[in-house]
A and B are shown apart, each in its own frame.
Chain A
Amino acid sequence: MALSIVHRATGIALYLGTLLLAWWLIAAASGPSAYASLQAFTGSFIGKLIVFGYTWALMHHLLSGIRHFVWDLGYGFKANEREALTWAALIGGIVLTVLIWIIAYAIGGGR
Chain B
Amino acid sequence: MSGFRSSMRTPLGRVRNLGASHSGTTDFWRQRLTAMAMTLLIVPVLFVILTLVGRNHAGAAQILGSLPIAIILLLFIVASAWHMKIGMQVVIEDYVHNEKLKLASIMANNFFCFVVALASIYALLKLSSGV
Q: Chain A: residues with CB nearer than 8 A to chain B?
A: 8, 11-12, 14-15, 18-19, 21-22, 25-26, 28-29, 31-32, 35-36, 62, 65-66, 68-69, 72, 100, 103-104, 107-111
Contacts and interface: CB of A to CB of B under 8 A. Distances in A.
A68 B36 CA distance: 11
| Chain A binding surface, main DSSP class | helix
A18 B84 contact: yes
B117 to A, nearest CB: 8
B91 interface: yes
A35 B57 contact: yes
Given A12-B91, A72-B32, A26 B50 contact: no
Contacts of A18: 80-81, 84, 116, 120
Give the contact-size bracket for chain B. Answer: 20 to 34
Given A8-B91, A15-B87, A107-B50, A28 B39 contact: no
A111 B64 contact: no
Contact of B57 (A22, A31, A72, A111): A31
B87 A35 contact: no
Contact of B124 (A25, A65, A72, A100): A25
B84 A100 contact: no
Given A28-B64, A72-B32, A15 B88 contact: yes
A111 B73 CA distance: 25
B50 A29 contact: no
A15 B35 contact: no
A104 B53 contact: yes
B12 interface: no
